[in-house]
């Protein structure tokens, strides 16, 4: 079982959790969408995130789902498990459980109570102590999802300097200082103020990927239903063909933007994954959004336009 470390890069897909129409976990679709992600460019998976409907799963279901994903992945790529929790006890229990099952690490966002720099650093020190020395973790920097808590560059520098098991940053400080913060973190590493950790980005849900790569991101961590977009943009960028990276990105941008609507996004994503054959139903557990006929018409139009554009690009 590979452990997550500072060298992680590429495309970590934030997975959906498939359900059947009756609301039960759909484990067949779990296999299928896992394959889909890996076949379309994922170099890692992130499961039980907010977009994975984690809070709607019982503890048993979470375990069953993670076990199934890990079995299907079978060591091909690292799997990171969302372990944010209002309490350290629950965080520790969940983390221990999934690491025993073969996860590569966990991901933890800050508690809503964090208001000052010292509180932020202390919080992550407690996280590290809770997880123990053999569970590497990813710091999730995502104020919109975490009560507006902002992890500043000095705070992140202190965290990555002090905590050896903090090996990765999921950078999604948006709307906010996304790109300049990323640049500042890389500069801090360059000056030796902190280790160079893995930084995977998702500012705006991936809407800044080409620019993030230019600023030193190691790749993307987001859940867009076309993983090949991230794969191909990362590849073109790595090959030095920045214009090609933008061409590809621009082709997907109208649909990617549509999938990033906060309230409706998960329904858009599951609809697209259903259309692409990756899951058997677009069912979302309550409480969850539903697409209107107008939404579906929008999406179908955007798919058609995207396909045309990709054909033009060759």
CB 38 → a copy of itself: shortest distance, Å?
27
Site string for a copy of itself, 47-76 (x = CB under 8 A): -------xxxxxx-x---------------
- Find the binding residues for a copy of itself in span 174-233 (CB under 8 A): 174-180, 183, 204, 207-208, 211, 214-215
Q: List binders of a copy of itself among 123-162 (CB under 8 A).
A: 126, 144, 147-150, 152, 154-155
246 φψ region: left (φ > 0), alpha (ψ -120 to 50), beta (else):
alpha
139 vs 160: CA distance, rounded Å: 9
Interface with a copy of itself (CB under 8 A), residue from 22, 74, 192, 294: 294
Among positions 3, 20, 31, 90, the unique one binding a copy of itself when judged by CB under 8 A? 90
CA dist 224 and 259 (Å) reads 7
Q: Which is closer to a copy of itself, CB of 147 or CB of 238?
A: 147
> Is there binding between residue 22 and a copy of itself (CB under 8 A)?
no
Q: Say which residues have a Cβ less than 8 Å from residue 255's Cβ, sequence separation at least 6.
A: 226, 272, 299, 302, 303, 306
Residue with tokens 């679709």: 29
Burial (Cβ within 10 Å: 0-12, 13-18, ≥19) of residue 63 = middle
Strands 10-14 and 219-222: parallel
> Looking at the DSSP assignment, which residues form a beta bridge with residue 221?
12
Binding footprint of a copy of itself on the chain (CB under 8 A): 54-59, 61, 85-90, 92-93, 112, 115-119, 122, 126, 144, 147-150, 152, 154-155, 174-180, 183, 204, 207-208, 211, 214-215, 242-243, 246, 249-250, 253-254, 257-258, 260-264, 286-287, 292, 294-295, 298, 301, 305
């Amino acid at each position: 079982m590979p452990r997550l470390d500072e060298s992680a890069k590429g495309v970590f897909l934030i997975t959906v959790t498939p359900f059947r129409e009756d609301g039960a976990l759909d484990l067949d679709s779990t296999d299928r969408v896992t394959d889909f992600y890996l076949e379309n460019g994922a170099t890692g998976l992130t499961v039980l995130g907010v977009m994975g409907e984690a809070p709607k799963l019982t503890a048993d279901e979470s375990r069953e789902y993670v076990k199934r994903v890990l079995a299907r992945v079978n060591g091909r790529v690292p799997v990171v498990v969302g372990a944010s929790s209002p309490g350290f006890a629950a965080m520790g229990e969940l983390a221990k459980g999934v690491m025993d099952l073969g996860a590569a690490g966990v991901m933890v966002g800050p508690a809503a109570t964090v208001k000052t720099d010292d509180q932020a650093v202390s919080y992550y020190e407690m996280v590290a102590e809770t997880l123990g020395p053999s569970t590497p973790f990813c710091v999730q920097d995502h104020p919109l999802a975490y009560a507006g808590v902002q992890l500043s560059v000095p705070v992140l520098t202190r965290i990555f300097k002090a905590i050896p098991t903090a090996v990765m940053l999921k950078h999604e400080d948006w709307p906010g200082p996304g790109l300049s913060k990323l640049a500042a973190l890389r500069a801090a590493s360059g000056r030796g103020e902190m280790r160079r950790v893995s930084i995977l980005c998702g500012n705006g849900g991936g809407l800044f990927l080409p620019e993030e790569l230019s600023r030193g991101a190691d790749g993307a961590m987001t859940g867009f239903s076309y993983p090949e977009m991230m794969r191909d943009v990362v590849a073109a960028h790595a090959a030095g063909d920045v214009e090609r990276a933008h061409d590809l990105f621009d082709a997907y941008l109208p649909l990617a933007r549509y999938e990033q609507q906060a309230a409706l996004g998960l329904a858009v994503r599951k609809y697209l994954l259903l259309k692409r054959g990756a899951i058997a139903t677009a069912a979302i557990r309550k409480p969850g959004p539903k697409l209107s006929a107008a939404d579906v018409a929008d999406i179908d139009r955007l798919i058609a336009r995207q396909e045309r554009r990709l054909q033009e690009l060759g």
